[in-house]
Chain A
C-alpha cells in the first residue's frame, strides 16, 4: 500500500469527506486529518459518541447524504486506503522539496505534536462565522448562530430557555428551528435582509428548487411554532450586566439605517447572531497559495496555484454543504489522476461540475440578498468592545483611523492591538475593516492555531501513527 501516492486531506467536513472518498476510490492512499473527535465538520457535526444518541438525525438536515458519506469513509478505512486521524489540530503545512509535511497538535489539549508526510495536500478547512459588533455583544449568552448550532449538534447543549436568533443569512432559519426543536423558546427571528431582494433574485434562487424547499420547510416549522419573525430589522443592543437579559431590536429604513423610535425590547437569555461566513485560509496562505479576495483561488480541477495543493469547500468561497460536496469530489478525482501521473478527464465528473456551477450561482444570489444593514458601523458606539480578545473599543479604532493615519486593518492592529489576541483578528477583522473604511482583506496568520514553543523548537520528522484510524 505504501507505494501508492499519498494525499493528505485536511478537514473532514463535506468537502474533505467527498474528496477523501473520491481519491481513495481511484487508487490514492489518503490521510484525513480533522480536529474533531468524529467526521462531519460543522455541517454534519455529530454528538459526542459517549452521549450515545440514538437519533442524531433529529438535529440534521439531509441525513441521507451524510449516511452515504460516512459509509464511503468507513469502507475505505476498513480497506486500509484511508487513515482517519481525529483530534488532529493542524497548525502548519510545510512545503518541502519533494513532499509536504502536515504539522498537527493532538487534541483536545493541543500539546503533543504529530507530523504527516504526503505527496500532495487537499485543503478542506471550511469556514467560521462572521459577527458584526453591537453594544453588549460580549455578554455571556450572546453566541454566534453557528456556535449555538455547534453546541446543539455536538454537545446536545443549549445555553438557556429563551433565545433570539438574529443577523442575516441562510443559517438563521435552521438555527432557529433546531433550537426550537430542542425545547428553546424562540422569542424572535430577526433578519436584516429585505424580502423584496429575494423577489429580485428569484430566478437565480428558483434554479435550486431543493434549496428553496429546504428554506420553506424551516419557515413552516417556525410558523407552526408561532415564532415572531422580523425582516429588515436588526439587534441594536444586548442588555445585561453579568449575562444577557434582553435585546433591543429595531427596524431598518430603506437606506439600511436604524429607524429612530422603532426599538423594542425582547427579554431573552440567549442571542444567536451571525452575519454570514468567512473561509479559513491560513494554511493555504502559508503555503503561498494565491487568494481571490478572501477565498483560496482554484482552477476547474480545484487546484490552487501551488503545485500539489488542492482546495475545496468553504475555503474556496462560502457556498454551503452541497457545493462543498461537488468541489470535494472534483478535487479528489483530480488529485487521484494527477498523483497517478496523468491529466484527468473532466467528463468523468461532469455531473459534479454542473452542480458546482449551479450552486455557485445560487450562493452568489444568496450573498446578494442576505446583507448586513448598510450602515452597521453606526451601531458600534464608542465604548463598544470591537476586538473581543484585546478589548479594543470602537473609539480607539476610530481614533487610530482619524487621528493617527491608519487606513487598513494591519495598521489599526499595530496602533490599537485590535486583532493581536488569541483569535488573531478572526472575530474583529470585518468590523475593523468597516470602521477603517477599507475592504476586508485576508490577514497573514502563519500559525493556523497557537503552538507551544517547545513543539515549534523541535523538528518532528517521524510520521506518527498516533490517533484513531
Chain B
C-alpha cells in the first residue's frame, strides 16, 4: 500500500522515541505532534472543558486551535504546528490545559 512518505519518496533519519502520557511511541525527525500521533493511530488528544468531548486536528494550519496539546509541560500547543524532538513528553489535555 502507498503511504504519503512513499509518494514523496521521503527518507527521514531513523525514528526517535517520545512519550504520550508516559507511554513510549516513535516519531520521525520532522514530524509534528499531530503527524506522529496520527501515525500511531491516535486521532484525539484533548477533551473540551465543557462537555469533555474528544478533539484532534481540524484545520491543520494553526487557525482553529482544536488540536491543543501539552508538550513538555507547556499547555495549549497546537499539535499541527509543533515539530517533535527526541524525548519530548506529550500529554493529552483536559479543559483549559492549566488545570493540573
A–B direct touch, CB within 8 Å, in complex?
A: yes
Chain A residues with CB under 8 Å of chain B are 35, 37, 42, 47-56, 58-59, 107-109, 128-129, 138-144, 146-152, 154-160, 181-183, 242-243, 385, 388-391, 421-423, 426-427
- A58–B7 touching, CB < 8 Å: yes
Contact with A along B80-100 (1 / 0, CB 8 A): 111100000000000000000
Decide if the interface of chain B is mainly helix, strand, loop or mixed: loop
Chain B residue contacts of A427, Cβ below 8 A: 58-59, 63-64
**C-alpha gap A59/B7 in the complex (Å):** 8
Checking B11, B28, B43, B62 against A159 with a beta-carbon cut-off of 8 angstroms, the contacting residue is B43
B interface residues, how many (CB within 8 angstroms): 50
B5-21 CB contacts (< 8 Å) to partner A: 5-13
Q: Which 10 A-B pairs give the minimum distances between C-beta atoms?
A: A147-B60, A50-B30, A422-B65, A48-B30, A183-B2, A155-B35, A157-B35, A140-B56, A54-B9, A140-B44
Cβ contacts under 8 Å, A423 to chain B:
63-66
Chain B residues lying within 8 Å of A154, measured Cβ to Cβ, are 32
Counting chain B CB atoms within 10 Å of each CB, which of A144, A154, A155 scores highest?
A155
Complex CA distance for A423 and B44, rounded to whole angstroms: 18
B35-A140 in contact (CB<8A): no
B→A interface (CB under 8 Å): 1-13, 28-32, 34-35, 38-39, 43-44, 48, 50-51, 53-66, 68, 74, 76-78, 80-83
Interface centre among B4, B35, B48, by most chain A C-beta atoms within 10 angstroms, is B4
Choose from A149, A156, A157, A183 the contact partner of B1 (Cβ within 8 Å): A183
For B13, list chain A residues within 8 Å (CB): 50, 52
Give bound CA distance, A407 to B35, whole Å: 41
CB-based contact A35/B10 at 8 Å:
no
CB pairs A–B below 8 angstroms (7 shown) = A47-B10, A53-B8, A56-B8, A128-B63, A140-B43, A143-B57, A155-B80
The SS class assigned to the A binding surface is: loop
- Given contact pairs A144-B60, A426-B63, A47 touches B8 in the complex (Cβ within 8 A): yes
Min distance, Cβ B18 to any Cβ of chain A, angstroms: 14
With most chain B CB atoms within 10 A of its CB, the pick from A52, A128, A421 is A52
Q: How far is the CB of B73 from chain A (nearest CB, A)?
A: 12
Query: Are A182 and B2 touching (Cβ within 8 A)?
Result: yes
Q: How far is the CA of A243 from the CA of B37 in the complex (A)?
A: 14
Which residues of chain B have C-beta atoms less than 8 A from A151's C-beta?
34-35, 38, 57, 60, 80
Which A residues lie within 8 Å of B78 (CB)? 108
Given A48-B83, A108-B77, are A148 and B60 neighbors across the interface (CB < 8 Å)? yes
Find out whether the CB atom of B58 lies under 8 angstroms from the CB atom of A388: yes
Q: How far is the CA of A47 from the CA of B32 in the complex (A)?
A: 11
Instruction: Tell me the complex Cα distance, A142–B59, Å.
Output: 9
With a CB–CB cut-off of 8 A, which chain A residues contact B50? 390-391
User: Does A426 lie within 8 Å of B39, measured CB to CB?
Assistant: no
Chain B contacts of A139 at CB under 8 A?
54
Contacts of B82 on A, CB cut-off 8 Å? Answer: 108-109
With contacts A128-B63, A389-B65, A427-B64 taken as known, whether A141 is within 8 angstroms of B10 at the C-beta atoms is no
A254 to B84, CA, bound (A): 49
Interfacial chain A residues near B44, Cβ < 8 Å: 140, 242-243
For B5, the chain A residues whose CB sits under 8 A away are 51, 156
With A128-B59, A152-B4, A156-B35 as known contacts, state yes or no: A108 contacts B81, CB within 8 Å. Answer: yes
Question: Closest CB of chain B to A431's CB: distance in Å?
Answer: 13
